[in-house]
Structure 1
Amino acid sequence: MDHYFSFFQLNNGIAEQFMQSSIYNKKKNCAKIAVFILITIFFYGCNSEKRVPARKQLLIKNEIFENGKLLKDQTLYDQLYQQPNSKVPLLNYRLFLNIYNLANPNPDSTFNLKYYNNKKKYDREVKWLSAKQIEGLRKSFWYLGIHNFLKETGEAPVILDTLKSKKSLTRLKSYYFNNGYFNVDANYKFDSLAPKRAQLKYYLTTGNPYFIDSLRTSIQTPVLDSLYKTTKSLIIPGKQYKTEDFENEKNRITTLYRNNGAYRFQSNYINFDIDTINKKDKATVILNVGNYSYQENDSTKTEPFKIYKISDIEIYTDYKSENHNSPIKDSVTFNNIHLYAYEKIKYTPHAITDAVFLSKGGVFNDARTVLTTRYLNNLKIFNYPTIQYEVDKKDTLAQSLIAKIYLTPRKKYSFGFAFDLTHSNIEDFGITGSVTETVRNIFNGAETLEVSARGNIGASKDIANSNNSFFNVSEYGVDAKLNFPRILFPIKTEGLIPKSMIPSTVFSLGLSKQTNIGLDKENFTGSFSYNWTPKKNTTSRFDLFNFQFVRNLNPENYFNVYGSSYDALNRIAQTYNTNPDYTSDNNLIIESGTTGFTNDVLTLKTSLLPNDAEYQNVLNVEQQRIRLTDNDFIFATNFNFTKTTKKDLQDNSFYTFRTKIESAGTILSLISKVGNLPKNINNNYEIFNLEYSEYIKTEFDFIKHWNVNKANVFAIRTFFGIAIPYGNSNTVPFSKSYYAGGANDNRAWQPYNLGPGSSSFSNDFNEANMKIAISGEYRFLIAGKWNGALFADAGNIWNVLDAVVYDPARFDGLKDLKEMALGTGFGIRYDLGFFAVRLDMGFKTYNPALEKRERWFTQYNFGNSVFNFGINYPF
């Protein structure tokens, strides 16, 4: 019998190896076929000159020589009208040119040749296809659409053009002139590399640059001359000439004058004379500012500019173009500002006047006009406001202005809805919808109330009870947000937060319920926050209080929902469990078996000891179960600050800095101590019969972008966050902890799959209370809207100063920085302007969860790679 069993095993093993070998060979053959097809397409389209007309040449390369030296500065090459067809970085392959070459340039001729020039074929096919259907094939995807697609996706060959080369030369000379090189000699020549290939070389002889020798002024209006002398010019003697400096100086002077009462001043009154006569490499600059010119009858007259003051401010609170000439029916004066209405004033006067930064008797000021417009628009109860100035006819000197502000109210009630498709760790597919009702000026003080209801249905194959239905996950909730366009506080805050910072107070409440996901949760949230803008591109938010109450409805269903945690616990139990009542078919019973076995391990009733890895795994599973199933009450105060130098969506050289500090439970503990409230059996305070969380949390997030050249960007991100429990807590709530991995983090790991530290936990959600992350990404243009990226992501999470005692998961000092995981990879992005779609592929380059000798590159393969799909860039 023993021999038979061995023989059976042997044959079974041979059969298994044969099947695996067959499968492997099939996969290998499929791979070979795929590679063969790709290589065939590659070589078929690889003839770059395929679409180059006869006696024409494809531009292969541009070179620019300055005083005999080959230049590499991309800014100069960006001046050229003609750029060679793009290449795939590192491969030196003109992918998109060859895609274009795959297209048939004359699909109509091919179609005619196949059908109309082949009568036998046409007669044969017209028997089962009508003549009209055959003609319809001409515009089908196979005969026309695919070729149009290839042309639109690819790049047409760049053909050498003499006229464009001359334009490039002119632009290069202009670029050098704008940088102080006034006597540039320039020419170009073609170098033929093959009958249909050539490169273009530009030769520049620059001479010496010119420097500013001195600056003189000729400002005809005395008051403007005096004002100019109080400031510092951007045109500095001794500095190399740059046209950009003159443009900036022109804008600076215009802003200076218009912010100091020169209402009629425009930048065209400023010009510069550059004198280089009888001077070697030096230029004398003369700043000219003329008088105000105007038309009177058929002649042009000039006079010195006047400084205007504001004699009156008028606000029309319900303006429409059709009622422009209608009589005013209601008016009120508040803080020297007149409010008018064609029907009835529906606003508390201070709600409108607080948004006005103009003052009666003050000089005209462009900046204050813009700030007033911005504040009024930020109230969100009016369409974009209009501010006009009229010369006050009562002023005999004609140096006074009446400021007229026209406000067109939005509808008091408005209704909106949103629809989204979602994907998450729980949902494989979800549909989310929301409806929002907005009530404007609800208390007549420009307040805005938003009430919304939202719902979600989703599909998940991983939940405990699918009910045999596709949509087996649901969530619904209601939210309310009330916005006050001012700081609500018992004492005045104007000295600390002036109204120029556009402050607001927001009170919000939310209630949601998740069902059919196993645990089922109820979530009640609320906040009272102050928001303001200290400076341009800078925002601040202070939450006086921010609370969250999470109630789990079915905590006993935990292991039915989180299968990985159950599998990890069950594997350990199969070796160390000694109580048969905990199992069925050798698997732990949920809930009695999982609870019983966990208690036995943690109370040392099994052979496992605290230093054993399996003991730590059980402890980790139990700690996470408690954190995910316990009801949480968080009452926090926090401050957020953000600063960015980004000007617009096209700005590729900027930085963004964000920081946050949050304190939870401090106020509640203070009240509990002052009130001498009793503690529970765990020696902790309670509120509503629930232990509240107490911790302090801080975060720092810095992003920097460098514009390498016109199309390429290098970006970095650094992040540090830590949440330290104390007092009433020895751990941080799950919702406030950190995780690593995912599309916007370390892209070589799935979300929650990395860390903590060098541990190799197999939980559904690996999280901890400290995180360090550093990412770098080089983004480059491939062609058209297609972009590529090479990236490296480093970082990890750790437990520090909390209840976790498992050493590999803890951060005990700088030596633990060696547990920073490293992922590298590449990505493809399709940029639609207002957002980008991206696909990144990350490889585990350094994995701290492995043995030390196996950490580097042992998982650097496609089998362990991770694909991440995302919207917009990760940072």
Structure 2
Amino acid sequence: MLIIIGSGCSITRGIKKNQVLVRKITIKGIDEQFADAAVNYVDKEQQPNNWLNLQLYYTFNKSGKKNIGEAPAILDSNLVEYSRFQMEKYIQNRGYLKAKVTDSVVIKKQKAELVFTAVEGPMFRIRKFEDSIPDKNIKNLYNANRNKLSHIQPGGRFDTDSLAHDRDELYLLMKRNGYYDFFRQYISFNYDSTFNSSVVDIKMMIDNPAGLKEHPVYTINNTLITISRSSSRTTGKADTIQVDSQFRFVDFSGRFKPRTVIDYTFQKKGQIYNIDNQTLTTTRLSELNVFRNVPNPTYEKTADSTHRLDTKIDIVPLKRMSDRVEGEVLFNGGRYGYNVGNTFTDRNVFKQAAILQVKINWSILFDNGNNVANNSAIQNQEFRAGVNLIYPRILTPFNFPLLGKFGVPHTIFSTNYSLFYQKGLVTRESFINSISYDFFETGRKQHTVTPINIEYSRGIIDPVARQALLDQNRYAYVSLIGRTVFTTGSQYTFQYNNVELNSYNNFTYFRGSLDIGGNVLNLASKLFNAPKDTLGQRKIFGYAFAQYTKTEIDLRIYRSLGGERQLILRLNPGIGVPYGNSNQLIFEKNFYTGGANDIRAWLPRTLGPGQFNRATYYGTDSLTRSRLKYLDQFGEIKIVGNVEYRYKLADNFFGAKLKGAVYMDAGNVWRLGKKAENPNGEFRFNNFLQSTAIGVGTGLRFDLSFFVFRLDYAFKFKDPQFNGADQWVLFKHADELFSTGTFKRSYLQNYGDNYAFAQLNFGIGLPF
């Protein structure tokens, strides 16, 4: 932006003196419901430029070697006339059959305004509709479905889009009911608009094939499935199996069992041809993620006159194995580090399109400068390793129907291990094993069920840090991060409208989860009179087990504001309750906030709980401060709300779409009841607003189609660790945003750390 501003911001600086730049389009005389769409019929090269796109083009394309930004829209009289004609045709197609459009151009200082003026005339309505369908079977099928598929109704507005819509819907109706040889050309419309009363009579005709009295209905016969090698070659030896009376399976790769493809071939012998089953077969086979190319099945008519179709499915598989290395550099609030990961994938375990993934990840974070006692030292490290085996079907001890109509279902066997080390505080390790099922009830409703989830975790606290925490009466925190816990449980998640998340439609997204643990172990411990530890908690296999219930909701409302502008409202509450054999949640089951995806003005896990003030346990000793500086703040209750407005800045910014956002985040985490270690950290309705944090900010999104790179700059607007008017830090201490004064010096003295008004977040993907 500084480069652009420094080089001059005139929007005409890059065009010749004899050229004129189109800067405005004005449309007059068009019905309001069509005016916005009418603008789109102005030729693309005559559409006014986005200011930033144009400046980027002027700045970076002087050499002619780069394609950045957007070329200037130079006035072209031929394109203006073409645009006038297209707009006139558009209005006539909306039912104003006598409409006329004229154009004019207003030029001032090399800037042009295009003015299109319409005289619409009367709107024509449909007076009468009739059809001519000699094939009685098709006529009966049409009559049974007309009300739900047709946009042509007597009394309604006449427009050609309705004719095109009805033709397409009728074509699909035929293709779904066995009419393989049916084409759109069989459907035609005649309409008479010669009446002075502005009405139209419409007649629809569906012709029979030449020389035939009716359209034939086709059924599915045999199916040949051919899988080539990954190189697309179909040579050499092949595994050939006649599976049953319908399916013949030929596999040149030698890597697949027949059921891998047959399970997701939704065309069965004897059924009438249905184009939806053809599309469904292609879609589901592609979703298996083991095939590189899955074209639509092709059909050949049998040699006899029985109107049967032999099906051919030709598939090219992906390479069976792949290995991907990923890495990123992290910068966050004076801390920096890196994250390196490796993912090995085997795409066809047991020849059943089961995917085996082995993931290893190592991250390390340094503290840079702000922590005098621990300057430039390793702040924390984490090593993670996991193995996932993903089957593209539901595997159970009993027969289960194939739930593949709306998406490929999965059975996921998962094992994950993590080892986390925070300097001077704790070493934690966890081991989690689970079996999960996910499937689609409809195209929008997705269920994930985890009937078995086994977790083991333990923490070892640094002796000095342990004593410092005990001296501050933070016994619960010592127990939370330093104990060994074993539990089993079950989980359930429901998602609605996940398929819409990358669109600009108006929709509501919902995700709800329920996590219940320890009940089976509690019952078993009582039945077998399991021993208790010193805290009175029963033990299984020598370890106390956790018992809890946790639920969380993510509700979002997406509203399109036209083009690529969007408003998102989000509410994300959750609560976890320990009970029975537990007096607190497992460390990993608590709620935390702050960071790049919820309240962006705070570092991850540094906000809350409630109005808890960290200065109460920092103390004055610098070594103690260094140990406890990044102590995770947690709570059993979480409420976060977000409002974000997204918009487009430039279409081509070094190969990416440049988008912007402004937002407000609000919320916190709270403790269930009063806790000695977190004064004022409990949830109370009469203190909810006082204990809620608010952050505001703006951001840039670099959209590269296959992923989004994001930068968010957020400011603390209301900080609940303070009281009264002092909470409104952005107002009360705005003069210290970029300088140091009384407030920052006082904070440094009490907290041993600088107060950060702003937080820069780097992320991959959108926050929600």
Measure, in 1, the Cα distance between the counterparts of 2:294 and 2:7: 61
The answer to whether the 8 Å contact 2:436/2:449 transfers is yes
Q: Secondary structure at the match of 1:404?
A: strand
- Alpha-carbon offset, residue 543 of structure 1: 0.6
Q: Which of 700, 715, 731 does residue 843 from structure 1 map onto?
A: 715
Per-residue displacement from partner, 1:437-463 (whole Å, max 9, x unpaired)?
Answer: 516242x5x152525252426352479
Q: Which of 29, 46, 50 does residue 86 from structure 1 map onto?
A: 50
Change (3 A) 1:151 1:71: farther
Q: Secondary structure at the match of 1:843?
A: strand
* Structure 2 gap segments, 5+ residues each: 616-628, 652-656, 739-756
Change (3 A) 1:308 1:786: same
Measure, in 2, the Cα distance between the counterparts of 1:187 and 1:759: 68
Q: Secondary structure at the match of 1:362?
A: coil
Aligned to 2:121: 207
Per-residue displacement from partner, 1:94-115 (whole Å, max 9, x unpaired)?
Answer: x5655666x5xxxxxxxxxxxx
Alignment of 1:710 onto 2:558:
no
The answer to whether the 8 Å contact 1:75/1:710 transfers is no
The answer to whether the 8 Å contact 1:254/1:266 transfers is yes
Alignment of 1:398 onto 2:265:
no
Aligned to 2:743: none
Aligned to 2:393: 486
Measure, in 1, the Cα distance between the counterparts of 2:356 and 2:683: 44
Alignment of 1:644 onto 2:497:
yes
Change (3 A) 1:360 1:756: same
Per-residue displacement from partner, 1:724-781 (whole Å, max 9, x unpaired)?
Answer: 2222222222322222222221223332333322333366322212222222222222
Measure, in 1, the Cα distance between the counterparts of 2:678 and 2:372: 34
Measure, in 1, the Cα distance between the counterparts of 2:373 and 2:217: 76
Query: Matches of residues 562-711 of structure 1 in structure 2 within 5 Å?
Result: 590-591=464-465, 593-594=467-468, 597-598=471-472, 602=473, 619=474, 622-644=475-497, 646=499, 649=502, 651-711=504-564
Alignment of 1:358 onto 2:225:
no
Measure, in 1, the Cα distance between the counterparts of 2:34 and 2:177: 46
Measure, in 2, the Cα distance between the counterparts of 1:342 and 1:43: 63
- Alpha-carbon offset, residue 540 of structure 1: 1.8
Aligned to 1:234: 150
Change (3 A) 1:679 1:382: same
The answer to whether the 8 Å contact 2:547/2:579 transfers is yes
- Alpha-carbon offset, residue 637 of structure 1: 0.9
Measure, in 2, the Cα distance between the counterparts of 1:515 and 1:823: 30
The answer to whether the 8 Å contact 2:356/2:388 transfers is yes
Aligned to 2:414: 508
The answer to whether the 8 Å contact 2:593/2:668 transfers is yes
Per-residue displacement from partner, 1:552-576 (whole Å, max 9, x unpaired)?
Answer: 3x4126xxxxxxxxxxxxxxxxxxx
Change (3 A) 1:834 1:376: closer
- Alpha-carbon offset, residue 238 of structure 1: 3.1
- Alpha-carbon offset, residue 471 of structure 1: 8.0
Structure with greater helix share of residues: 1
Q: Which of 679, 685, 700 does residue 828 from structure 1 map onto?
A: 700
- Alpha-carbon offset, residue 539 of structure 1: 2.4
Q: Secondary structure at the match of 1:230?
A: helix
Aligned to 1:430: 338
- Alpha-carbon offset, residue 492 of structure 1: 2.4
Query: Matches of residues 708-787 of structure 1 in structure 2 within 5 Å?
Result: 708-761=561-614, 764=630, 765-784=632-651, 785-787=657-659
Q: Secondary structure at the match of 2:563?
A: coil
Aligned to 1:800: 672
- Alpha-carbon offset, residue 43 of structure 1: 8.1
Aligned to 2:685: 813
TM-score using structure 1 length: 0.73
Aligned to 1:224: 138
TM-score using structure 2 length: 0.82
Query: May I ask how many residue pairs the two structures share in their alignment?
Result: 719
Alignment of 1:548 onto 2:455:
yes
- Alpha-carbon offset, residue 399 of structure 1: 1.0
The answer to whether the 8 Å contact 2:487/2:521 transfers is no
- Alpha-carbon offset, residue 400 of structure 1: 1.2
The answer to whether the 8 Å contact 1:216/1:286 transfers is yes
Aligned to 1:388: 298
- Alpha-carbon offset, residue 320 of structure 1: 9.1
Aligned to 2:619: none
The answer to whether the 8 Å contact 2:407/2:443 transfers is no
Change (3 A) 1:41 1:491: closer
- Alpha-carbon offset, residue 529 of structure 1: 0.8
Q: How well do the aligned residues superpose, as a CA RMSD in angstroms? A: 3.9
Alignment of 1:62 onto 2:5:
no
Measure, in 1, the Cα distance between the counterparts of 2:580 and 2:316: 54
Measure, in 1, the Cα distance between the counterparts of 2:356 and 2:674: 40
Measure, in 2, the Cα distance between the counterparts of 1:63 and 1:317: 57
The answer to whether the 8 Å contact 2:340/2:362 transfers is yes
- Structure 1 stretch 737-746 or stretch 77-86: which is displaced more? 77-86
Measure, in 2, the Cα distance between the counterparts of 1:72 and 1:855: 49
Per-residue displacement from partner, 1:662-721 (whole Å, max 9, x unpaired)?
Answer: 112222223223434343332322223222222212222123333322232222222222
Aligned to 2:201: 284
Letter in 1 for 2:13: K
- Alpha-carbon offset, residue 73 of structure 1: 6.0
- Alpha-carbon offset, residue 363 of structure 1: 0.8
The answer to whether the 8 Å contact 1:323/1:342 transfers is no
The answer to whether the 8 Å contact 1:347/1:441 transfers is no
Aligned to 1:532: 439
Q: Secondary structure at the match of 2:680?
A: helix
Structure with greater strand share of residues: 2
Q: Secondary structure at the match of 1:527?
A: strand
- Alpha-carbon offset, residue 307 of structure 1: 0.7
Query: Matches of residues 325-474 of structure 1 in structure 2 within 5 Å?
Result: 330-334=240-244, 336-341=245-250, 350=259, 352-385=261-294, 387-393=297-303, 395=304, 397-408=305-316, 413-423=320-330, 428-438=336-346, 440-442=348-350, 444=351, 446=352, 448-456=354-362, 458=364, 460-461=366-367
Aligned to 1:27: none
- Alpha-carbon offset, residue 306 of structure 1: 0.9
The answer to whether the 8 Å contact 2:713/2:761 transfers is yes
Measure, in 2, the Cα distance between the counterparts of 1:330 and 1:771: 58
The answer to whether the 8 Å contact 1:844/1:860 transfers is no
The answer to whether the 8 Å contact 1:455/1:474 transfers is no
Measure, in 2, the Cα distance between the counterparts of 1:151 and 1:380: 36
Letter in 1 for 2:221: S
Aligned to 1:867: 760
What is the identity percentage for the equivalent residue pairs of Structure 1 and Structure 2?
25
- Structure 1 stretch 73-82 or stretch 262-271: which is displaced more? 73-82
